[in-house]
Amino acid sequence: MIKEREYRKRRKKIAKKLLNNSVVLLTSAKPKVRSNDTNYPYRQDSNFYYLTGFKEDNASLVFTKSGNKVKTILFVQKKDRQEELWNGKRLGEIEAKKRFLVDEIRVSSSLKESLEELCKDKENLYFDFSIEAPKIKKSLKRSFIAHYDISLLIKKMRLIKSKAEIKLIKKAIKITKKAHHSAMKFNKCTKGENELLAKIEYIFKKNGAYSDAYTSIVACGDSANTLHYIANNKDLKAKELILIDAGCEYEYYASDITRTIPTDGKFTKAQRELYELLLDTQEQVIKMIKPNILRSELQKKAEILLVDGMIKLGIMRGKREKLIKKLKHKKYYPHGIGHWMGLDVHDAAPYLDADKKEIALRKNMLLTIEPGIYISKDDKSVPKRFRGIGIRIEDDILVTKNSHKNLSAGIAKSVKEIEAKSYTCNSNL
């Protein structure tokens, strides 16, 4: 768990970046309707959570800054027995005062009236304009000389992970490891993608991760060639590969892991050839990771290695430089090498600085590395043995002082490791 003093430290850091005579308003995420009068499970807005650690809805955080004086006020829902009967217990104003290290706690119903007082004589408004609070936003805009997007400052801070954040991400990865290893054992006993997905989600919840970090992908055979395949409802077929992109969220922090495994527990020769090309590419790219390296350098390395490998296997034809220049490889490797990860699986942190230059890697940044090869079953330009194969391998990498650490290195991914994890249907799972 992240301690309250860390949230206070983050708020102080943000406050130092504010202009004088300013007010900041951050609101919690709104509940999202699923159907008529039923909602999706509530998930707090990541930026609001980053500065408060508060998980309830109908909450707001207000900063005011005058000279060197900064005041922080957290607005929370008041205790209400009738509402709690239907929707669960609330922390309430009294308990919030005991828990949060802010200057003042007020009830959410007083926000509009309080803002009139707090905004008096203030010139600058900071607001997360990605959050839906149109009535408040409209009324506040009228009385300010300038308004700024506070989310840009928060997202920049989120690039660098604290020790507590890294610990939570490691916990999420530990649970995800159990799920992937279970899937490797379970695949030969399974009839459909949905059954394998259920096993993965069961492991997540059994081990204290009450949510996945994103909609999981369990894609057998040619389904893996749809990058955002989430139907997960087809039968598993013999001698096919299953691409499993699944990671849990633990205390709001994500993991993001992809493994590709054979339905029969053993790779065919063609599957092995493609898989080992991809694995070698991933491992060589990971070795490059250290402070001051650019993600574009990692991308370029992956493209060179994959194109060289595909030429050797007869999937692509021609000179590597010309193929890459004409983007011919995008047919088989259309996405990037990876992304930031943290409170969001695709963490909402910037890739470019204020001058639109690429941000280099720094200590305690965390990113995924996930090369892929996707060959449609209908692609007659490639040797028949490779058609209908989609492979991706993804790990979560922490940048260290002089190098890197693969936080998910313990999850089996070599051909030998994956085949060793596979059991027969009579095994005790």
CB neighbours (10 Å) of residue 422? 18
Known catalytic residues?
A: 37, 228, 245, 256, 335, 339, 346, 370, 374, 392, 394
Sheet order of strands, 22-27 included: 104-107, 69-76, 60-66, 22-27, 124-127, 146-149
Rounded to an integer, what distance in angstroms lies between the CA atom of residue 372 and that of residue 82? Answer: 52
d(C-alpha 118, C-alpha 360), whole Å? 39
Name 69's bridge partners.
Answer: 66
Q: How far is CA 400 from CA 160, 201, 296, 370, in A?
A: 11, 31, 19, 19
Q: Of how many residues is the chain composed?
A: 429
Maximum Cα interatomic distance, the chain, rounded to a whole number of Å = 74
Q: What is the pLDDT of residue 128?
A: 86
Q: Are strands 69-76 and 104-107 parallel, antiparallel or unpaired?
A: parallel
Which residue segments constitute the domains of the chain, with CATH numbers given? 4-157 (3.40.350.10), 163-421 (3.90.230.10)
**Rounded to an integer, what is the distance from CA 57 to the centroid of its chain?**
21
Contacts of 275 (CB under 8 A, 6+ apart): 241, 260, 267, 391, 415
pLDDT band at 301 (very low <50, low <70, confident <90, very high): very high
Kindly report which listed range (105-119, 122-136, 251-265, 392-406) carries the lowest average pLDDT score: 122-136
If you compute the radius of gyration of the chain from its CA atoms, what whole number of angstroms results?
25
Does 133 have pLDDT greater than 60? no
| Residue 281 CA: distances (Å) to CA of 385, 410, 418 | 21, 18, 18
* Average pLDDT along the chain: 94
pTM as predicted: 0.95
Q: What's the pLDDT tens digit per position in 157-210?
A: 999 999 999 999 999 999 999 999 999 987 667 789 999 999 999 999 999 998
Q: Taking the C-alpha atoms of 287, 292, 295 and 300 in order, what is their torsion angle to the nearest 10 degrees?
A: -70
Band (139; pLDDT cuts 50, 70, 90) = low
**Nearest residue to 243 via CA among 280, 281, 175, 193:** 193
Taking residues 124-145, report their average pLDDT: 71
- Give the pLDDT confidence of 317-353 residue by residue, as tens digits: 999 999 999 999 999 999 999 999 999 999 999 999 9
Task: Write the CA distances from 374 to 227, 246, 295, 378, 391, integer angstroms.
Answer: 9, 18, 22, 12, 6
Quote the CA–CA distance of 324 and 344 in Å, as a whole number. Answer: 31
